Structure 1
Amino acid sequence: MKNFELFLHNYGISIFYVKIGLSFLFSFLITFFSIPTITKISRRKNLMDEPGIRSSHIRKIPNLGGIAIFYSIGICISIFAYELFDLYKFLFASLIVLLYVGVMDDIVVMRAYKKLVAQIVVSLFIVIGSDIRIRSLFGLFGVNEINYFISIVISIITFIILINAFNLIDGIDGLAGGYSVVCSALFGISYYRLGEYNYPLVILSVIIIGSVLAFLYYNLSNYRAVKIFMGDTGSMLLGFLLAFTCICFIDIFIDKDLMNVPKYHLKSAPVIAVAILILPIVDTLNVILVRLWNKKSPFVADKNHIHHKLLKLDLTHKRSSFYIISYYLFIVAVAYLLRHTNVNLLLVIILSLGFLGAYLPDFIFVLKNNKLKSNN
């Protein structure tokens, strides 16, 4: 690979842009051509997602699409962003653990505590082993630099929450995948603007986008014969990688004594990261609060997720996903426009808009029912 880079350099061709193009192309093609085989095996071996209480589908659908996403991401990072595996020694090991746990859960359904143990192990790998952690809150809640051990605890909790939060929003066609593409694009653009030291992370973002777009081709298909879900394998993998890119994004703005690395400063960096990942954060918090308010266990499944509320309004999966993603993109735009506002005030604004989005479908549903009653 280094000889190839030298060859391109001699001809004045930017290796970075070549990597961007090839990483997108190969990540898309690997996923695109892997899924039909996975679908065929899933149907032959009856490895299907059975409709349940929380399900928004009525037929059995293959749910091992996450394997293709992992396959694509694992190969393409190793070729086009191999620096990541040098910088973060435990990154690949973490992905392997998540693959194993996800596939086991998609096939035989693991107990929740076993999945949680695996997620803790993965978080320990990346937080302690690779030193990917939240080191500062930039004045949020009056906190700046965080004690090392507290930093580890907060970072592990962040990984676990985001891994499970992405799992929870994966309830309708296109939502988890589409939102992953949007988040990766936003982080990728941010990394690109912040300089070439972050280029491997830009390529990682492009690889995620390519592989997930190929998955969405099948996930959003109207033909049952090719339709597939990403399953826990895909949602946990994407949740983990977006938590990883999120913490790396925050870390860029912390002063470090590294030579030849430009220093940036943005007090609102943690809130911008929250804004980008606002959908899974708000959806998970809202569901837990509603369950506790109703004196139910926060781990009991229900239909209080944002996507379930939109389906109650008789919207299709595609429209529901489009509306949800569009609204939360609006929140990201607000966060960017107000990025120089006081960090605590900005967090209040972002969370308020986030929860407003969670309850807008309820308001519309009530208004719709009142209108029907008045017409009758």
Structure 2
Amino acid sequence: MKNFELFLNHTGISIFYVKVGLGFLSSFLITFFSIPTIIKISKRKNLMDEPGVRSSHLRKIPNLGGIAMFYSIGICTSIFAYEIFDLYKFLFASLIILLYVGIMDDIVVMRAYKKLVAQIVVSAFIVIGSDVRIRNLFGIFGVYEIHYWVSVIFSIITFIILINAFNLIDGIDGLAGGYSLICSALFGISYFRLGAYNFPLVILSVVLIGSVLAFLYYNLSNYRATKIFMGDTGSMLLGFLLAFTCICFIDIFIDKQLVNVPRYHLKSAPVIAVAILILPIVDTLNVILVRFWNKKSPFEADKNHIHHKLLKLDLTHRRSSFYIISYYLFIIIITYYLRHINVNLLLFIVLALGFSGAYIPDIIYVSKNNKLKSNN
């Protein structure tokens, strides 16, 4: 790869743009051509997702699409953004652990506490081992720089919440994948605008986009023979990597006095990160609050997720995913244009709009039923 970089420098071609193009194309193709084999093996060995309480599908569907995503991301990131594994030495080990836990859960269904232990381990690896953590809240609730161990605990909890949040929104076709696509694109653009030092993270984002796009081709397929889910393997992988890119994004705006590295300052950086990941955050918090309100266990399966509410309105999976992603993309746009206002006010606006989106389907459903009753 280094000889290839020297060759491109001599020809005057930017190595970064070549890496972006090849990273995207390679990631897309590896995932695209790996999934049919995974589908074939899944059907032959009966490694299928069975319809259950949380499920919104009626037939058995292969659920190991996350393996193909890991395969392409692991290969392409190692080749085109190898600097990431130098900077964050525990990253690849964390991905391997998540792959193992995800496959085990997709095949034999692991107990919740075992998954939680694994998530704590990988989060500790990346937070303590690679020092990827939330160090500063930029004045949110009057908090600025955070004490090291408070920062470590807070960051580990953040990783765990986001890993599980992406798992929870993966309930209908296209939602988790489509939203991951948006998040990766927004973080990638942000890293690109913030300078060359962040280019490896740009390439990681592009690799994620390529892999998820190829997965969505099969996930949104109308043909049962080619349909697949990402499973826990895919949702945990995406949740972890997007939590990683999110925290790295916040970290960019902290003055760590690194030599020859330009630093930036944007007080609303944590709120912008929350806005980008607003859907899984709001959906998870809302479901947990509803379960507590109904005096149920927060781990008990139900159909109170936003996508379940839209399905009650007789919308298809595709339309439900489109409406949800469009609404939460609207929140991100609003946040961007208001990014220079008071950080606490901005956080309030983001959360208010986020939770409103969780209850708009309920309002429509009640209004629809009242209209039917009045007509009868």
Alpha-carbon distance in 1 for matches of 2:16, 2:322: 32
The one-letter amino acid paired with 1:21 is: G
Name stretches of at least 5 consecutive residues in structure 1 with no aligned partner: none
Matches of 1:228 and 1:79, distance apart in 2? 27
Aligned counterpart, 1:157: 157
1:55-94 equivalence runs, <5 A: 55-94=55-94
1:106 Cα offset (Å): 0.1
Q: After the TM superposition, which residues 1-376 of structure 1 pair with which residues of structure 2 at under 5 Å, given as runs?
A: 1-376=1-376
Separation in 1, partners of 2:181, 2:330: 16
Displacement of 1:148 in angstroms is: 0.2
Letter in 2 for 1:203: I
Q: Read off the aligned partner of 1:93 and give its amino acid letter.
A: A
> 2: distance between equivalents of 1:295 and 1:41?
42
SS in 2 for 1:309: helix
Whole-Å separation in 2 of the counterparts to 1:107 and 1:139: 45
Question: SS of the counterpart of 2:137?
Answer: strand
Following TM superposition, by how much is the alpha carbon of 1:53 offset from its aligned partner in structure 2, in angstroms?
1.2
String of CA shifts for 1:67-125, please: whole Å, max 9, x gaps: 00000000000000000000000000000000000000000000000000000000010
Instruction: Tell me the SS of whatever aligns to 2:138.
Output: strand
Three-state SS of the structure 2 residue aligned to 1:139 is strand
Superposed displacement of residue 54, structure 1: 1.3
Runs of 4+ in 1 over 6 A off after TM superposition: none
Pairwise CA distance, 1:256: 1.4
> What is the Cα deviation at residue 50 of structure 1?
0.3
Q: Secondary structure at the match of 2:29?
A: helix
For 2:107 and 2:121, the matched residues in 1 are separated by 21
Structure 1 residue 51: deviation in Å?
0.3
**1:133 and 1:256 mapped to 2: Cα distance?**
13
Deviation at 1:259, TM superposition (A): 1.4
- Residue aligned with 2:59, SS: coil
CA distance in 1, matches of 2:236, 2:325: 19
Q: Secondary structure at the match of 2:224?
A: coil
- Partners of 1:340 and 1:253 in 2: how far apart? 14
Output one character per residue of 1:173-206: Cα deviation in whole Å (capped at 9) or x when no partner: 0000000000000000000000010000000000
CA distance in 1, matches of 2:319, 2:328: 14
Distance 2:257 2:138 in 1: 18
The offset of 1:326, in angstroms, is 0.3
Q: Distance in 2 between matches of 1:79 and 1:55?
A: 37
Q: Distance in 2 between matches of 1:258 and 1:121?
A: 29
Shift of 1:375: 1.3
Amino acid at match of 2:350: I
Cα distance per residue 1:295-325 (max 9 Å; x no partner): 1111101000000000000000000000000
Q: Which amino acid in the other structure matches residue 242 of structure 2?
A: L
Task: Kindly tell me the number of residue pairs found equivalent between the two proteins.
Answer: 376
Q: CA deviation at 1:257?
A: 1.1
Question: TM-score, normalised on structure 1?
Answer: 1.00
Using the alignment, how far apart are the partners of 1:120 and 1:188 within structure 2?
26
Structure 2 residue runs without a partner (length 5+)? none
Query: CA–CA distance in 2 between the matches of 1:147 and 1:314?
Result: 49
Counterpart Cα distance in 1 of 2:19 and 2:372 = 56
The CA distance in 2 between the partners of 1:234 and 1:263, in whole Å, is 33
Alpha-carbon distance between aligned partners in 2 of 1:208 and 1:375, rounded to the nearest angstrom:
50
For 2:225 and 2:153, the matched residues in 1 are separated by: 45
> Quick one: distance in 1 between partners of 2:310 and 2:56?
11
SS in 2 for 1:254: coil
- Write out per-residue CA displacement over residues 224-273 of structure 1, whole angstroms, 9 at most, x where no aligned residue: 00000000000000000000000000000000111111111100000000
CA distance in 2, matches of 1:53, 1:102: 20
Distance 2:353 2:195 in 1: 31
State the Cα RMSD in Å: 0.4
Q: Residues of 1 paired with 2:276 and 2:86: CA distance?
A: 27
Matches of 1:257 and 1:287, distance apart in 2? 41
